[in-house]
Chain A
Amino acid sequence: MSVDINNNGPLIRIEDVSKIYHQDKPDEVRALQNISLEFFPGEVVALTGPSGSGKSTLLSLIGCMARPTRGTIYLQDRRVSRLPESFLARIRRETYGFVFQQYHLLRDVSVLDNLMFPLYPAAIPFKTMRERALVLLAQFFLTDKQKTKVRQLSGGEQQRVALARALMADPPIIIADEPTAHLDAELSLELLNILAELNTEGRTLIIASHDPVMCQAPLISRRVALRHGELVDDNRDGAGL
Chain B
Amino acid sequence: MILNVKLLEYSLSSLWRRKEKNIALIIVYALVIATLGSVLLLTHALKTEAVTTLTAAPEIVVQRTQGGRHELIPVTYAETIAGFPGVGKVTPRVWGYYYDSLIKANLTLVGVEGYHEQLELLEGRFPQAADECVIGAGVAEAFGPQIGDLLVLEDSSKRRSEFRVTGIFRAASNLLTNDLVVLQEAALRDFFAMPAELATDLTVQVYNPREVSTIAKKIAYFLPDSRPITREELLHTYDSLFNWRSGMMLAVFISALMAFLILAWDRATGISAEEKREIGILKALGWETSHVLGAKLREALLISLTAFIVGLLLAWLHVFVLGAPLLMPLLKGWSVLFPTFDLTRVVDLYQLAVLGCVTIIPYLACTLIPAWKAASSDPDDVMRG
Contact = CB atoms under 8 A, between A and B. Distances in A.
Interface string B348-385: 00000000000000000000000000001011110100
Interface stretch (B6-14, B157-165, B234-242): B6-14
Interface stretch (B24-32, B212-220, B281-289, B314-322): B281-289
Contact of B13 (A67, A104, A109, A118): A109
B2 interface: yes
A165 B288 CA distance: 18
Contact of A93 (B5, B17, B286, B380): B286
Contacts, number: 80
B286 A124 contact: no
Contact of B277 (A104, A123, A165): A104
A66 interface: yes
Interface residues of B, number: 29
Which of A65, A89, A109: most chain B Cβ within 10 A?
A: A89
Interface in B4-51: 5-7, 9-10, 13, 17
B294 to A, nearest CB: 10
B290 interface: yes
Contacts of A121: 3, 286-288, 291
Contacts of B286: 89-90, 92-94, 118, 121, 169
A208 to B, nearest CB: 13
B341 to A, nearest CB: 53
Contacts of B290: 86
Contacts of A94: 286
Contacts of B378: 60, 65-67
B10 A120 contact: yes
A117 B288 contact: no
Interface in A46-86: 57, 60, 63, 65-67, 85-86
Given A106-B278, A109-B13, A123-B3, A66 B288 contact: no
Contacts of A90: 286, 288
A140 to B, nearest CB: 17
A113 interface: yes
A165 B281 CA distance: 12
B284 A104 contact: yes
A113 B278 CA distance: 14
B13 A113 contact: yes
Contact of A86 (B3, B10, B281, B288): B288
A169 B286 CA distance: 10
A80 to B, nearest CB: 13
Given A120-B6, A120-B291, A66 B380 contact: yes
A105 B278 CA distance: 9
A26 interface: no
Nearest to A116: B6
B292 to A, nearest CB: 10
A150 to B, nearest CB: 11
A100 B17 CA distance: 23
Interface of A: 57, 60, 63, 65-67, 85-86, 89-90, 92-94, 98, 100, 104-106, 108-109, 113, 117-118, 120-121, 123-126, 165, 169
14 contacts: A63-B284, A65-B283, A65-B378, A65-B379, A66-B379, A66-B380, A100-B383, A104-B281, A108-B17, A117-B10, A120-B6, A121-B3, A124-B2, A125-B2
Given A57-B380, A104-B383, 7 more contacts: A92-B284, A92-B379, A100-B284, A109-B13, A113-B13, A120-B3, A120-B287
Interface of B: 2-3, 5-7, 9-10, 13, 17, 277-278, 280-291, 376, 378-381, 383
